Structure 1
């Protein structure tokens, strides 16, 4: 047992190292903690106590107790409370960790302690945190897979979210943006604008407001003049800003301007109300300037703010974009894409169905964070982000989105990705990374080229050799429900390599009713027959649905994501209920649920419980005259 416990200690040490946390082993070099441990014996003898790991992160103490077997994780009474007798504290990880935490609170100046019980090994384990404060009140928190939530960068957020149950700053920002979107939608509705026109008016005004710093535009200029309307003034400011942003060629700039003509040519929003002496355009501009333009720092964020507005406008209009197959991708997924394929500053990224440019924004944010070289950063903005969008109004929104972030814009294109030969895209836009959320539910037996898996094949064909591709598609796309989809899956494996598929939270696209998954490929490398792919069940991703806000982090998302990335990149093992590694066939359903079988060895406690349940059932049957059910002869 001592050898197995030593192996657990080594594994926990590696977990801490991976999370960038430094703790002392079986002692402490912090005088306050060292003094307390000299009387912290779990036997309550007043002698020395030696937790496996202990230390301080910011103003929190972390104390960890390990046991080699998950059966030694926790000892509880019939009500589920942790027992505090000597035997329980000595034999069980969580009970021991709680003992040390309370002792530290009593005998040191530290007021906040996370006691963490760890049992098992890298593949099968339990990691349970408990928070204890100076009142000796303890709160058991949900199990975690890593210690990343407790490092210096994350521990305050974890404390406020999990212990204090406070709304995160990010969630407040999202809620405020959605509240503004609702207010703005009601204002836009008064102008009689179409669903497509609403986000165009918003994005156009935001572009015009950029001209304020160049003295080329002012809200005070919007006087409702009948000779030069407010819409014309905003339109002129948009044109100036597009030229200042160096959007080229001229044909592209003209195409974008044509979509913004809705601002100039819609009479109702240019009409000056006799009572207020203001146009609706002036009201929109004032609202955006006060509520949005001055408060959103586009360049420093991976958030797709215009995408949020677009989604909200569609929902308030009784639509969600699904008639066109448009499903906007949440920020935590666009960021996850970058991490799954280890995006580098030197990569060239293609999104052939870019929508409002969510993936390109996340990619740019990730790439820029990895380098301080201004020449490299300029190259990222101008040469390494490429997007294609079929819908011209979405293309305009995407272009605006990138302009607001200081992007080069020269690599966004408005054409039909599927209609363009893969060889031409590969030549004109040679890319090492592909990211895509294709239109959903547009394919049929009559039009099989619009199946999501067909979009995926065309993306793979369009990338450079050895490029990485990551797509988010419905689970049905990788099961091959039609003959044509099965053929496409075979073709993909003939030319490209499937690395794995990750099953996602069913609420990822909240309100849409799509069960998504992420599929990762290597392009132009035929799939080796003995290649082992990873199939992961990531339904428990730490995100839940919050009323009036949508999908939010419940406090465990950082931990869940870190565990996913550790497993995906081969840094840690996991149970088969989370990840299955296996060879595949084209005919298989490329999902974790297809390959998973329960290989977990039941614990002695599980065995005893099952036997007790069976004997209780047998006794009940016999007492009710049905003992014949257990008669082997009959």
Structure 2
């Protein structure tokens, strides 16, 4: 059978003819569009997975009536069935089951290749909206060219996955007189909350895979770096590469020259960029100084700046970080990015055996649960007394902004509310300086809730006041969320007592070692219940922190400002089966799988705590129990549904029936044996 020949040259001739006819300034494969885009395409992994050299068949840079620029990247193929390859969810299938690039699809299909190029633009340039076009075709029996077109919008808003804009038979939508209507159609594209969550989950799995790759690479290849060095190098690289549009240009790999000249070493260049970045971010001057001082010890050390074969270790590491992670923090994922980074970095080291073993960050799905249990909304004032990487505050901020978008219909009012949420309605305290650095970075990436992240001991140095802005005013906390260090007094309940004593109203949700509720924090718990009500005690899965800690944890939920009455109903929930299956394989791309309706189970837990047993659906009364505690006890917070051991009439009837059935079966068997003997 003769092999079908590609008609790609014919497709290229057809489409380029359209572009010429539309009087558009298009550039072909080898031509330059502009330095920024050219560089991005060259830096990004090629369609075959090699180092750089991406060359779209045609490319344009178009401007709408609002003077916004849109890169347009076009890829041609010459076979009937090579327009696009979609995954099972209908998305462009550019990632394999291990969450690494699927270079076969990227190379073989026109739209997949164009979306790949678009991600290079998102990764390495300031452009956040890209149009990716694939065109392919074939010749029919009459030697007529039949073509098909795929047109996709690739942006920060859809996390770089891409959305189909519409069906087209030519590219006349790119003509100057049609382009504004085309952009209007893009602006009307929308994703449902479920679709956004699915895309976010997909990207988060990619983050995990990229972090594993990056960390393994640095751990195996870069010698002489301590745990703190690695944290600071990642933080510094991201801050230097972020940039601020129109204010501070992002630091690029090419800006680092590995020079040994005093004042121009790679470390000094990065420090200068970070200073500019922090200054334009309007961070308090004392906080700017603290951040720079923390980073300087690592970035300015001789060894890391020393050039070997013309390249410093610092430049090499900076390049790895930007190449592996750049896309994720630039597309604006609303996730605890640095929390994932932290957990991955430390999982490769002896960290879990040292004195800081209890610094274990909360998984994002548990952070979201705590936020919902604490009833966070757009008007909440949320604080965390052991903030770690600020993952809980990131989850709270996301929930507040979602609520604001649902309830505020004025764009101007919504913009002001989001600014207020980030600047005034979040406060976190972290005493460990290296982890504090991650919290600052996390909230900067979230854009920017870092104002009131304080490097203080919440038990001894905090007076309840804002750290920035309204420094003479008390933070009016209405929601408290916490995953404390379990080595602290009462397994960490001392943080809870301190925070709740500084609140007048609201709710609190904490996750803590469950021995805190069965005796380890007896006196502290008694004190807490003098002014607060325990609403729920939730037993969490034993493997929740697999690979980092193996302690049994519970979530305790409180209503703040009301003394616990002995007749108060407490909801005890066994959440040992939360629907997730976890593993602890260091090089696995996904150690968390939803195997039994996990998302539905987490939603049901929230409803059970809020509304009671009427919300039982997946769970039964074996896992849900409404009981009471003695507010003067403090060690009776971990209860389970009582098991009734008394025999019931039905049990007796069943036992008798089973016995009679056994007797009858034996009688029949014996009769059959006797008859058999008599016939012999």
Per-residue deviation, residues 569-609 of structure 1 (Å, max 9, x unmatched):
216244431211122114264455x3421369999998776
Kept in 2, the 8 Å contact 1:422–1:462? The answer is no
* Cα distance, 1:531–1:273 mapped onto 2, change above 3 Å: same
Cα distance in 2 for partners of 1:331, 1:416 equals 24
Write out aligned runs for 1:235-634 (5 A). Answer: 235-248=271-284, 250-274=285-309, 277-297=310-330, 299-301=332-334, 303-320=335-352, 323-324=355-356, 325-372=358-405, 373-420=414-461, 428-440=474-486, 442-443=487-488, 449=489, 451-463=491-503, 465-481=504-520, 485-511=521-547, 512-546=549-583, 547=585, 548=588, 549-554=590-595, 556-570=597-611, 572-574=614-616, 575-586=620-631, 587=633, 589-591=635-637, 594-598=639-643
* Cα distance, 1:541–1:226 mapped onto 2, change above 3 Å: same
Cα distance in 2 for partners of 1:343, 1:531 equals 23
Give TM-score, length-normalised by structure 2: 0.61
Unmatched tracts of structure 1, length 5 or more: 1-57, 60-151, 161-166, 444-448, 622-634
Per-residue deviation, residues 594-625 of structure 1 (Å, max 9, x unmatched):
3421369999998776556667899999xxxx
What secondary structure is seen at the aligned counterpart in 1 of 2:404?
coil
Cα distance in 1 for partners of 2:369, 2:605 equals 10
Kept in 2, the 8 Å contact 1:208–1:217? The answer is yes
Per-residue deviation, residues 511-533 of structure 1 (Å, max 9, x unmatched):
21111111111222211222111
Report the CA distance between 1:358 and its aligned residue: 0.3
What secondary structure is seen at the aligned counterpart in 1 of 2:510?
strand
Give TM-score, length-normalised by structure 1: 0.65
Per-residue deviation, residues 212-244 of structure 1 (Å, max 9, x unmatched):
853363221111111111011111111111111
Report the CA distance between 1:479 and its aligned residue: 0.7
Kept in 2, the 8 Å contact 1:298–1:404? The answer is no
* Cα distance, 1:322–1:513 mapped onto 2, change above 3 Å: farther
Report the CA distance between 1:392 and its aligned residue: 1.2
Q: Does 1:217 align with 2:251?
A: yes
* Cα distance, 1:317–1:355 mapped onto 2, change above 3 Å: same
* Cα distance, 1:335–1:225 mapped onto 2, change above 3 Å: same
What secondary structure is seen at the aligned counterpart in 1 of 2:534?
strand
Count of aligned residue pairs for this structure pair: 450
Report the CA distance between 1:422 and its aligned residue: 6.1
What secondary structure is seen at the aligned counterpart in 2 of 1:371?
helix
Kept in 2, the 8 Å contact 1:321–1:327? The answer is no
Unmatched tracts of structure 2, length 5 or more: 1-88, 91-191, 406-413, 467-471, 667-680
Cα distance in 2 for partners of 1:603, 1:266 equals 76
Cα distance in 2 for partners of 1:359, 1:341 equals 11
Report the CA distance between 1:323 and its aligned residue: 2.1
What RMSD in Å do the two structures reach over aligned CA positions? 3.5
* Cα distance, 1:521–1:156 mapped onto 2, change above 3 Å: closer
* Cα distance, 1:311–1:610 mapped onto 2, change above 3 Å: farther
Kept in 1, the 8 Å contact 2:422–2:448? The answer is yes
What secondary structure is seen at the aligned counterpart in 2 of 1:518?
strand
Question: Which one has more relative contact order, counting CA pairs under 8 Å at least 6 apart?
Answer: 1
* Cα distance, 1:209–1:174 mapped onto 2, change above 3 Å: closer
Cα distance in 1 for partners of 2:543, 2:660 equals 41
Kept in 2, the 8 Å contact 1:510–1:550? The answer is no
Per-residue deviation, residues 468-522 of structure 1 (Å, max 9, x unmatched):
11111011011114xxx21111111112111111111111111211111111112
Cα distance in 2 for partners of 1:502, 1:460 equals 19
Kept in 1, the 8 Å contact 2:258–2:266? The answer is yes
